[in-house]
Structure 1
């Protein structure tokens, strides 16, 4: 076992080439899915299933499919080494990857509230806390989350865990550009994330592609080391099985990650519905429309967010870039002047706007036009939760 693990970390050009090939194949599969498979599948399912049913089915596919794929590939590994070595060696390899991913993600989950507060320089705000308390009472929370204000472009996000408690952060620009009712809708959206347990759920869902990915990397590395242990044909063929299983695991991790992104978009609709329930669908739409106007016409904010490498559960994500809280604080913030802009007209324009499926396919959030139309259907009773 120690020999195999040692070989995993030994640089091997062929292993790197195999990993690159797996990446290329994975990207080709994702692009094919975004342009061909996903739009057709979405059009057939759209309107036939409720939001909760769609989330349940997609979540089941991710969990069952991911675990089944991992077990199948692990079975190939056990079959390849089970004759020459103790079968527990292959099982230990699988469990080692799972344990590594669990530990890394668990540590991140536990320290993330503290890190966010430090990196944001978050500060408590009594006025914002009163709004959060009011919305929390309407939403049936026994204990309202803690409210903090952060500096930066308009945004809001929910974070926390069982140790740090629940938190809601709203940027100073969001407070400035929204009315009280629109702010309540924004906070209602974020409280929806807390109420639905999205932080924990998305953490769990993200573990599946992570385990597959790192398992694949280890198999690719192990394939070359295992093949080099002996010149005997049986061990050489065992190394090929390792390589094929490793490449397959990496490609499967790409596919699973796409499903996780789709699941995340459904959770955003769910949070939008919660925001509409506490503050009205129109206020939720107006808040989204203001975010669209702000980020569409202000280059500084878009640039600062697009350059960031980290992501979080945000109320708004671009179709051309990803929104997240870790923006460069030193960049200038645009004024966000809405004078002369009729937000209701913007809502009507967004309602008619068609979006690009490939762009949405790789995003954690649905595009604004789709969220506007979803809220319309929800208000008229066409959309069922």
Structure 2
């Protein structure tokens, strides 16, 4: 570490991961020397053990807590469960930003306020990938609305009422990927609908959802995003979602398209869906009939069949992933799925 510290001026990437980061804090402080890294483009410090995040008699004297560091080329910052200062020069002009603080909710006295989080984002107008796994404290100063014209990928994890507050100040016209992973129950459906509407209905292709409660999938928000081609359901009850992904009887004829290239099938979520992932969903065992009907309407014919497309007007599924659901599909069900979908990933059969 001490040798590395003498070479800070030559660094382009710094990646440091440890379970108990405080044990190496002294070395980190020395490593960053005078805080001048003219070539540094990527900076990652990841502490896996939340309980040891700030346990140290020494101050944190490294780039994200400095207000005077010089990192003119920095483009990617990822800090997890370690301190950072909202007005650090390191948190400016980024393309990729990831901030994670997985502290227990009762230990939030030093949390970032909503207005300061928005200030960080406003200092990164060209950010393209944003991952926020933090719980904020209420705003001190009145928050300002913010448009991030180049943001393509947004991940929100953790979450509380203040998460919805800062989300309500964002407009993201170029958004392509949205991942929502909540650990506390909040009415995220309305907030996501408002974000989509406010952003001019961007062409979101990828949506990942891990709700706080297994039955709280934001169906109305997803219905407002007909361009989704990749859907992931994590640790939730997939039955109702599978039903809404499947055309109802007597409604297979699409109407005029509201969005160019997207079939208009009333009541059907994700009409251009190409891939689905279902992970960590124990209740899938009770939803197998709905899963079969969903696949049947999307891929009614086997891969080697001479028949053409589905009569439902929906594009065929290209990939389906089902893992960690506490069950392995029976051999006949596995064969039926793999005969229709080109790319299939399933947990291995249990002897």
Question: Normalization by structure 2: what TM-score?
Answer: 0.25
Could you say which structure has the higher helix fraction? 1
Q: Give the number of the structure with larger relative contact order, counting CA–CA contacts within 8 Å between residues 6 or more apart.
A: 1
